[in-house]
Amino acid sequence: MMTKVELETFVEGTTHYFATAANQPASVGSPYIVQEGRPTVQEFTGLISIAGKRRGIVYFTASRPMLTVMLMRMGETELTQENMCDLVGEVANTISGNARRDFGKDFMISVPTVLAGEPEKIVTPDNIRSFVIPINWRSHSAQLVVCLE
Amino acid sequence: MGILDLGRYKGIVFAITGFLVFMAIIMAVNHGKAGQFSDNVAGVRFLENRAQQPHAVYDAGLQLAQRLENGEKIDDALEALRKATNTFETSLSGLANGGMISDSTGDIVVLPAMTTKEAVVQLREGSKLWDSYRVKIDPVLRFSGSPYVATQPAPAPAPAATNGKNAAAVAAPAPAAPTVQLSPRGRRLQAALNDLNQFGAAAHGQLGKLLLDMSARVEADSRKQTDTLRYIQIGGMVAALLLLGAIFLFFARNLRKEEASSNRQRKETQDILRTVNEGLFLLDKDLKLGSERSMALNAIFRREDFLDLTFDKLLKDIVPEKTLRTAMDYVALLWGERVNEKLVKTINPLNEVEVHFDNPAGGFDTHFLEFDFNRVKSEGSLSHLLVTVNDVTKRVMLSRELQESQEKAQAQLDLLLRILHVEPDSLTSFLTDADVSLKMVNSILKEPAREESAFRAKIDGIYRQVHAVKGEAAALGLKTVEQRAHAFEESLNDLKGRPSLSGSDFLPLVVKLDDLFNHLAQVREMLSRLVDLHHAIATRRTAGGEVGAEKVDQWLAGQDQTQITKAIIAPPDLGETTGAIGGLERTLEDLAARVASSQAKQVNLRCAGLDGVPEAYRRAVKDITIQLVRNAVVHGIEEPSERTKVNKAAAGALAVEFTPRGTDGYELIVQDDGRGLQLERIKEVAVERGLITPAQAAMLDPRQTMALIFRPGFSTADRVTTDAGRGAGMDLVRILVAELGGRVGLASAGGKFSKFKIWLPATQSAVAA
């Protein structure tokens, strides 16, 4: 069963990125569960796979407008798709780093993969509910999705 | 290995030793012969030198005679004769006595050539001749004094020394002066000299020749030695070459044989390593993998390159850090010299290790590997660890599946025992309602929220849903669900008390929600199995099955409940005519009985008209009655001893009536004959909980006081339990009634009764509302 500590670790990883890299903290929205069907997937997704004590995926998915503003605030002038992919990849990387720090000894955490669209490529374990945690930043909202056995 | 334990090198060591011994012998012979050669050279030189000696004796004799004739002094000439005689005699005697001579340094040298038969004969003859010669010399040498008469003038000094020949030459033309007068001894000397010189004239040549012959013999012997030496050297070299060739051939053949054997062994090893299913490799002290390993290792570790790989690098990317550290500690332990291998093997942490390989399509491929370590000893000390790796994924997965299925079966059995007492329809109804409630909770959570007020607004809504689930679970005696819902409420209360709220604070809620969803799914699965079981038994019964089937029916119908006097017994024919409300009646009975039991009270519940509850109100009526029945038992009904004191029946009477009122809608009455509402206690609690101030309390009339119990957070229970205490129940009743557009009325008489009267609008108006 998913534990509060595990969820908090992933959430902290995400908010930590916003606080440090995006120069403006993000707030955590009201978390909920997706029981049936696929959880939300926006235009850009950074994903890590987890094995070991737990098995499944964790991903951060955000919209193009949100990433555009983030890039601008980070002083990036080239608002290209590559840069947006890099950005969600970095967020995933920070989540991964946080998870490694907190329970890396029991977990195997993959290198982040980045998807532009392509929600069909995100495969969640069967019969497992996903936890969706909205990450609100300025007027935008991204999602952190945690789907672990 | 002992110093003589040469193993496979024995042959070569013996061969080389033999070769060296052979060479040493050749060298020794060579050396001996070479020494003999130098002796012979010295001998030749000696003999040539001594060959002049007989001539010197003869010359000395002549010179002595000449002096005598000339009247000269003879002393030195006599001495010269003696010396020459002695020298020759010593030389000849040495030669005759075993061929001994003295070389230039004075050392004695033995000439083997002098010991041959011919030489001995020749020397013997020479010695004889010399002996005869010596007989002639001796009288001369014995002479002493002056050979002249005493009156004779002093003899003339001897002429300057000349050699014998010259002396002879000089002596010959100079006849003795007539003036020389010899004494009688002198004349005898002269006669002896004449005799000597006559003999010597022939003998000295023979003796000189003898020595020259000897010299030639030694020289010939020396030449022979030289030839022998040459032959030995040539023979030695040829033999050495042959020996070397033989050694070479022998070892070349052996080497070829060994190489062939080694090639065969290597090929066999390679065949084994190529075909064996286990991953095999050696680990050295630096934990580096050996160069020989089985091919299976490539497939097991999904890599081709193992060159210079260390054990930790092999595992680093495929196991979590903790496992890696444990593995390295364990391997280090195996290197200890004093370790009991069998004992250490029993604590092998890698006998079933979970590894994860990167999947190119994303994520990980998980496998289970079994590592086995064997210590390899060489010459008594630990040299390597032999590591055997097996992919035991299938075995582990099967075993885990079996274990999971056993655990699941055990969990289901536990769950089964917990839900067996619940009537299936009630359970179905509960599961449906609970699912709706939890989905509602999730919907509330899902509503976007950024501001604190939005978060806070969610709490009450969620609370009501969870409380309803908890209430019904408690009513059904589903302790496991009730406890989970209770824990959920605890979390909600915790949130309520926080000064500020954000999404992170809601994380525990989703975790608990997930847990509740999971648990209800398990209950649902068990229920489904129970129903299947019931149908199966029913089928067998209609086909003339066993009597025992009825008992299962009774369980399924909840007829094994004995804690309560049932006013209404549901028809046993399940799943056909029993409606949800029939289930509610039983639910309420169970609830009343369970709560009464936990409070050490007795209660008789009477239900009426619940089967007439319209569908639109079904859920609300259920939630409301559950709350009110529980409240009545906990707060209203007194303990039996207290009741008997005031002449009441020990068992409290509790009635639930649902009555249609035509166009006026419906009336739900829940009434108990307990102690009634204690207005003063209500005021005190309200003040304690900060709902009102003491001043306000003093101003309240009875009606206002009674209304306090509907305030959120009001409860007169001393402690929070799953049955009471949080003060959410009456608030829930108020809200449910309000949501349906109804009203709540409350009447109570201290010590006599409490009566909740709820009016609900007609269904149409309810729907319209």
CATH code of A12's domain: 3.40.1550.10
Last residue of a domain, one of B326, B358, B391: B391
B420 assigned to some structural domain: yes
**B447 and B375: one domain?**
no
Q: Is A27's CB within 8 Å of B447's CB?
A: no
Q: Per-residue pLDDT averaged across B533-550, rounded?
A: 63
State whether residue B172 sits within 8 Å of chain A by CB.
no
Whole-number pLDDT of residue B718:
56
Euclidean distance between CA atoms B424 and B115, whole angstroms:
139
| Tokens, residue B172 | 């010959």
| Tokens, residue B192 | 């002896």
Whole-number pLDDT of residue B547:
45
φ and ψ of B546, to 5 deg: -85, 155
**B571 and B554: one domain?**
no
Task: Answer whether residue B204 shows pLDDT above 70.
Answer: yes
Euclidean distance between CA atoms B449 and A30, whole angstroms:
6
- What's the pLDDT band for B171 if we cut at 50, 70, 90? very low
- Tokens 């409380």 map to which residue? B467
**B456 and B583: one domain?**
no
Crossing angle (nearest 10°) for helices B507-542 and B548-556: 150
- What's the pLDDT band for A32 if we cut at 50, 70, 90? very high
**B380 and B418: one domain?**
no
Residues of A in contact with B503 (CB under 8 A): 27-31, 133-134, 136
Residues 15-54 of A with CB under 8 A from B: 27-33, 35, 47, 49, 51-53
**Buried-exposed string B268-285: b where 16+ CB fall within 10 A, e elsewhere:** eeeeebeeeebbbbbbee
Euclidean distance between CA atoms B155 and B671, whole angstroms:
194
pLDDT digits (tens, 9 = 90+) for B95-138: 877 777 776 677 787 777 777 888 888 888 888 888 888 888 88
What residues make up the domain containing B174? 40-221
- What's the pLDDT band for A146 if we cut at 50, 70, 90? very high
Last residue of a domain, one of B501, B536, B560: B560
Name the least confident of A92-106, A111-125, B639-653, B719-733. B719-733
Crossing angle (nearest 10°) for helices B53-70 and B117-142: 20
Residue count of chain B, please give it: 769
**B604 and B632: one domain?**
yes
Q: What whole-number percentage of chain B has pLDDT above 70?
A: 86
Q: How many domains does chain B have?
A: 4
State whether residue A127 sits within 8 Å of chain B by CB.
no
What residues make up the domain containing A138? 4-148
Last residue of a domain, one of B560, B577, B605: B560
Q: What whole-number percentage of chain B has pLDDT above 90?
A: 8
What is the maximal distance between C-alpha atoms in chain A? 44
B650 assigned to some structural domain: yes
B173 assigned to some structural domain: yes
**B430 and B302: one domain?**
no
Whole-number pLDDT of residue B209:
87
**B426 and B323: one domain?**
no
Nearest to A107 among B320, B366, B518 (CB): B320
Residues 89-118 of A with CB under 8 A from B: 104-108, 110-111, 113
Q: Per-residue pLDDT averaged across B522-547, rounded?
A: 72
Q: Per-residue pLDDT averaged across A134-143, rounded?
A: 90
Read off the CATH number of the domain in which B491 is found. 1.20.120.160
Q: Per-residue pLDDT averaged across B141-163, rounded?
A: 68
More confident residue, B643 or B149: B643
**B747 and B598: one domain?**
yes
B230 assigned to some structural domain: no
| Tokens, residue B598 | 């936990």
**B518 and B585: one domain?**
no
Q: Is A2's CB within 8 Å of B447's CB?
A: no
Cβ within 8 Å of residue B297, ≥6 positions away: B279, B280, B281, B306, B389
| Amino acid letter, B266 | R
**Buried-exposed string B537-560: b where 16+ CB fall within 10 A, e elsewhere:** bbeebeeeeeeebeebbebbbbbe
Cβ within 8 Å of residue B292, ≥6 positions away: B269, B273, B281, B282
Answer for the pair B519, B484: CB distance below 8 angstroms, yes or no: yes
Q: Per-residue pLDDT averaged across A17-26, rounded?
A: 85
Task: Answer whether residue B763 shows pLDDT above 70.
Answer: yes
pLDDT digits (tens, 9 = 90+) for B424-439: 777 887 888 888 888 8
**B125 and B165: one domain?**
yes
Crossing angle (nearest 10°) for helices B452-476 and B479-496: 160
**B339 and B479: one domain?**
no
**B175 and B317: one domain?**
no
Residue among A15, A30, A120 with most chain B CBs within 10 A, to mutate: A30
Residues of A in contact with B356 (CB under 8 A): 51-52, 108
Kindly give the pairing relationship between strand B603-608 and strand B652-660.
parallel
Half-sphere exposure of A59 (CA within 13 A, CB side): 30
Which sign, positive or negative, has the C-alpha torsion B172, B173, B178, B179? negative
Q: How many domains does chain A have?
A: 1
Which chain A residue lies closest to B354 (C-alpha atoms)? Answer: A52
pLDDT digits (tens, 9 = 90+) for B543-582: 654 445 555 555 555 444 433 333 333 333 333 333 455 6
Nearest to B80 by CA among B140, B2, B17: B140
* Mean per-residue pLDDT over chain B, rounded: 80
Which chain A residue lies closest to B450 (C-alpha atoms)? Answer: A29
